[in-house]
Structure 1
């Protein structure tokens, strides 16, 4: 408020002081000066006192704004001022060029022309260096706007044309979106060689970045400049150019929260699919839906990148790994559902599946069945018990195997162990009955037939019960094997997702640029 109160009186006082100072009327003097300078002036003449010496042109560049970096077409668009002191990879920038040189034919004594120190003359009236950007991608090639040339009394000419520059830029997508890009802007005379026009850097630090407007997608690291003298194969004369390298770094915050985080969340949903029970009916649908979602995300990334085969972007590699994981989870989900719905009358569980999925993997994963604790000792004891059971069943008689009883139970009165298996007696062998009909029964013939009928019924009921128990046990084993595969896939794919995410983040040159 205080500044506003004093601003108007101060401006009025300054205006009165300037108005009362003695001055010169420069209208007639400027007109006379322009007539004297431009009358005999030849715009085709290189303005040097000695034709054998090159004209020195100081060249500078002020970067105002990075308008766009077109990765797909590989174009950089800039807004710059050229300071002349006498999916196609493009960078689009706003630049001011600065050209400054000394014109031998544009000198005058200011006292002879009423104190006129400088003039503003249109560039088509004067000689100016034909400095262009060699790697321009603009439709008109030269993107500068023609402004007046400021000419001073000592012959110094300053030409500052602003322009929107489109330059080709080789985009390296190896570390996308954690990438740095170096885009060159090469300026030089189109027709004058180094013996006629010599470009000199206005500043050893490179381009002027004091007026740079921050870009939302790219962070400017620097813009060094370098003078090059090159002898081309076509011509023996040396040609001088000045190359500015715009060093930019991508801001990854947008890609991190819009691509990487959703990808991690979607992949975690694929992991949760292994916790769903197979009877829910949505186990396979969830995996396929997640696979389609990742495909959409990968297409979004592919649309922003140039269609080149030089390198695979880091984010694309990560998405492919996650997609491979989700696709594998869909395949293994099919295996789990297949195991879960198997029955004993169609599939028989092989011994290696029993050993791997019912014993060793549950023990490694810490899983157990109700009433059955799985340890290394129980696994070894189970194998041993199976061997002993096979030996014991092979040593029993048929009736004992049918009724699932010991042979001693059939030591009936007067039977003399008739139903036992073949035994050695006094150096000879006695054959024992092997069928129910051959087994002697106490009592008469009718009693024997009744007992045989009862034994047949018992055998039928026993077989049905054994078959039902065996089928239930086989179905239970297949379901438990499906649970083991689910748990194993959950652990393996969780580790894979964590390792892939950490590996991608650690391999990146930088993670987040605000």
Structure 2
């Protein structure tokens, strides 16, 4: 029995011994060892001295940008509001240790405890402050590689080109700059061989703007300043403006033509023309709310509405004279100009060309385009002719202007894209 017991227990003892040895080998450093290493590294450490043993060397700070979302593209104030974080990495020669001695691969330090580059948002639009905060921790590996991930809501300047609004593309830049140090002291640059310097991190799509492409570049070697710029190529999603802005404007232009269809005796021509004119003024004010107040670029859509308002003024003027002529006494002779307008209208209608009209109950008179008989043309005919000629003239102009503006906006949209 004892022999058999020894035979069965020996494998168990071997397994337990192996497990104990494995636990001993894989056991990490204790809390006291972490504290000891951290205090050792921070002894005589100065956050105001660049982390180099040779202070004549350059600290290379490698960077990349992770975009979490586009909060707003404020065209009126010309600013871009984004959420994301900047990844910064550099070597700290004062924070290196022997991994075999301490059995520790990574340490974490608060931002205020170790040296960090004074990188700021150069083209910021609000407060001028450093990245990160006291609650941020920086990761440090045993070879002295420091990684810093300050997460920020960034408000940067962005020049908005409103020429093709709402079919517009914008290129906005986010520039980070080393404020205190020269390029020979701290060189902020991009990660080497990084195909995507602007990446996404849990990116949330914006309902108005989409990202077409991204790019990034560091300042050239010949420049003294050390900075890196990330570029976002944005494209506006125009559906909202097509439905709520462009379509009503086009329909108003068509409705305005009805001014020349309403009979002069109805008494509603002037009020209808004024209502359409004021409607265009309202839409112009709505567009102005979405555009910056500058004179460098002008929205083609805004120009189109101004042209429509000019046409509206012309419509009101024509309607005013037309109503005055309509109510003019029949005893007054119709002038040559107005007779010409009537003849043009009849020629276009092709209803009086070389047709016989009965002037009296017993006599037929041959009337042609060159007939000058005052009994044939009266002021009511003049009023009707003005309506007819104005309607078709405005219709042709409206179609032409609409085609030009839409083709220009969409053409510019494709050209930019």
Shorter chain as denominator, the TM-score bin is 0.7 to 0.9
Alignment of 1:111 with 2:92, yes or no, is no
Residue 283 of structure 1 corresponds to which residue in structure 2? 269
Task: Assess if the C-alpha contact under 8 Å between 1:138 and 1:165 holds in 2.
Answer: no
Q: How does 1:172-191 map to 2 (within 5 A)?
A: 172-191=161-180
Give the alignment partner of residue 159 of structure 2, picking from 170, 174, 193: 170
Task: State the TM-score, normalized to the length of structure 2.
Answer: 0.85
Instruction: For residues 389-420 of structure 1, give each alpha carbon's deviation from its aligned partner in whole angstroms, at most 9, with x where no partner exists.
Output: xxxxxxxxxxxxxxxxxxxxxxxxxxxxxxxx
Query: Is residue 223–residue 244 contact of structure 1 (8 Å, CA) maintained in 2?
Result: yes
Partner of 2:225: 239
SS of the residue 1:208 aligns to: strand
For the Cα contact (< 8 Å) 1:118–1:151, is it kept in 2? yes
Aligned match for 2:150, one of 158, 161, 164 = 161
Instruction: State how far apart, in whole Å, the 2-side matches of 1:361 and 1:274 are.
Output: 14
CA shift at 1:367, angstroms? 4.8
CA contact (8 A) 2:75 2:292 kept: yes
SS at match of 1:239: coil
What's the offset of the Cα at 1:371? 6.1
Residue in 2 that maps onto 1:336? 322
Which of 468, 476, 484 is residue 385 of structure 2 equivalent to?
Answer: 484
Q: Distance in 1 between matches of 2:246 and 2:124?
A: 35
Q: Deviations over 1:46-74 (max 9, x none)?
A: 11233222111111111111111111111
Change (3 A) 1:46 1:25: closer
CA contact (8 A) 1:291 1:327 kept: yes
Q: Which residue of 2 aligns with 1:410?
A: none
Structure 1 position 124 matched with structure 2 position 124: no
Q: Which residue of structure 1 lines up, in the alignment, with residue 363 of structure 2?
A: none
Shift of the alpha carbon at 1:105? Answer: 0.7
Q: Deviations over 1:405-455 (max 9, x none)?
A: xxxxxxxxxxxxxxxxxxxxxxxxxxxxxxxxxxxxxxxxxxxxxxxxxxx
Count of aligned pairs between the two proteins: 380
1:204, distance to aligned residue in structure 2 (A): 4.5
Shift of 1:45: 1.7
Aligned to 1:64: 68
Q: In the alignment, is residue 366 of structure 1 matched against residue 350 of structure 2? A: yes
Is 2:293 the partner of 1:307?
A: yes
User: Which structure 2 residues correspond to residues 2-21 of structure 1 after superposition, within 5 A?
Assistant: none
Matched, 1:30 2:21: no
1:270 to 256, 274, 278: 256
Q: 1:280, 1:368 → 2: CA distance?
A: 26
Change (3 A) 1:143 1:291: farther
* Cα distance, 1:382 vs structure 2: 2.9
CA contact (8 A) 2:138 2:148 kept: yes
Give how far 1:380 is off.
5.6
Aligned to 2:49: 45
Give the distance between the partners of 1:156 and 1:266, measured in 2 at CA: 65
C-alpha distance in 2 between matches for 1:340 and 1:48: 94
Equivalence for 2:219? 228
Residue 350 (structure 1) aligns with: 335
Q: Per the alignment, do residues 28 and 120 of structure 1 end up closer, same or farther by CA in structure 2, a change over 3 Å counting?
A: same
Q: C-alpha displacement at 1:231, in angstroms?
A: 6.2
The structure with higher relative contact order (CA 8 Å, sep 6+) is 2
Write out per-residue CA displacement over residues 1-52 of structure 1, whole angstroms, 9 at most, x where no aligned residue. xxxxxxxxxxxxxxxx9xx965235311111111111122111221123322
What secondary structure is seen at the aligned counterpart in 2 of 1:307?
coil
Query: Any idea what SS the aligned residue of 1:46 has?
Result: coil
Please give the alpha-carbon distance, in whole angstroms, between the structure 2 residues aligned to 1:143 and 1:343. 82
Q: Rg larger in 1 or in 2?
A: 1
| Distance change in 2, residues 1:62/1:266 (3 Å) | same
Stretch of structure 1 that moved more, 126-135 or 44-53: 44-53
Question: What is the alpha-carbon distance in structure 1 between the residues aligned to residue 279 and residue 389 of structure 2?
Answer: 24
Distance 1:381 1:71 in 2: 60
The two structures have a TM-score, normalised by structure 1, of: 0.69
CA separation of 1:264/1:183 partners in 2, compared to 1, >3 Å: closer, same or farther?
Answer: same
Conserved 8 A contact 1:137-1:166: yes
RMSD: 2.5
> How far is the alpha carbon of 1:180 from its aligned partner?
1.2
For 2:163 and 2:133, locate their aligned partners in 1 and report how far apart those are by CA, in whole Å: 37
Other-structure match for 1:510: 413
| Distance in 1 separating the partners of 2:351 and 2:37 | 100
